[in-house]
Amino acid sequence: MSGILDKILNMINPDECLISGEILPENREYKYISSDKLLELSPPPHPLIIRDRLLSEYEADQLAISKVISLFKINENENVLNPIHKFKYMGITQIGTEFGTMLSKLISPLEYDLIIPIPIHKARRRERGFNQSEILGESISKKTSIPLAQDIIIRSKYTYSQAKLNREERKLNLQDKFKVVDNNEVFDKRILLIDDVLTTGTTANHCAEILLKAGARRVDLAVIAVSY
């Protein structure tokens, strides 16, 4: 019955691609995004190029992230921001699930022991109703069978937006805001951190740093898009 209802509703108010605005066909791979339009988005730089960019902002011994896995690059094709914003700020979590499915195709289940979403503060979670990184992580875990651990890192203090802060201010803003609950859970583990977008990488690198200090063997990062 729900399938028939979806067809009727789609005839009345057909779904539009969140990238192009075009009407989506009834039979499609993703609910909100045209597969053809995905191919028109800018691919991400090679992981080594992303690492070089991060090394331009961090000393080698300060960069805790080993590798970044990403679907897209943000600069030339800003259209990818539309579905990300609809996912993150309008609560259309199915978009995040589909991005997680796309990311899972780039991830080898043999490379990682644990998936850890970057946490948000409980106050921000109340505002949004969900953690976008958890939605992505759940989808990736389901497709790859890599165990998901949502409570290994907790965000103990609320942090203000980092958007207008310089690098040193961002570091100070994060100081003592995250902690690993149980070092034994991450000891000698190869960990895949999850976030939505990589900009400066300050938050992700801070989380990777505390995981390594807790005994993790390696920490990589997977995101929807990289700002480059």
Domain with CATH 3.40.50.2020 in the chain: 42-227
Contact 203, 172 (CB under 8 A): no
Cα-Cα end-to-end distance for the chain: 46
What pLDDT shows up at residue 170? Answer: 58
Closest by CA position to 63, among listed 214, 191, 200, 227: 200
What pLDDT shows up at residue 79? Answer: 80
What pLDDT shows up at residue 48? Answer: 87
pTM of structure: 0.85
Q: CB-hemisphere CA count at 13 Å for 192?
A: 31
What is 42-227's CATH number? Answer: 3.40.50.2020
What pLDDT shows up at residue 13? Answer: 45
Please, what are the averages of pLDDT over each run of 10 residues along the chain (228 residues)?
43 70 87 88 89 84 93 78 90 92 96 95 80 96 96 74 55 70 95 94 92 97 92
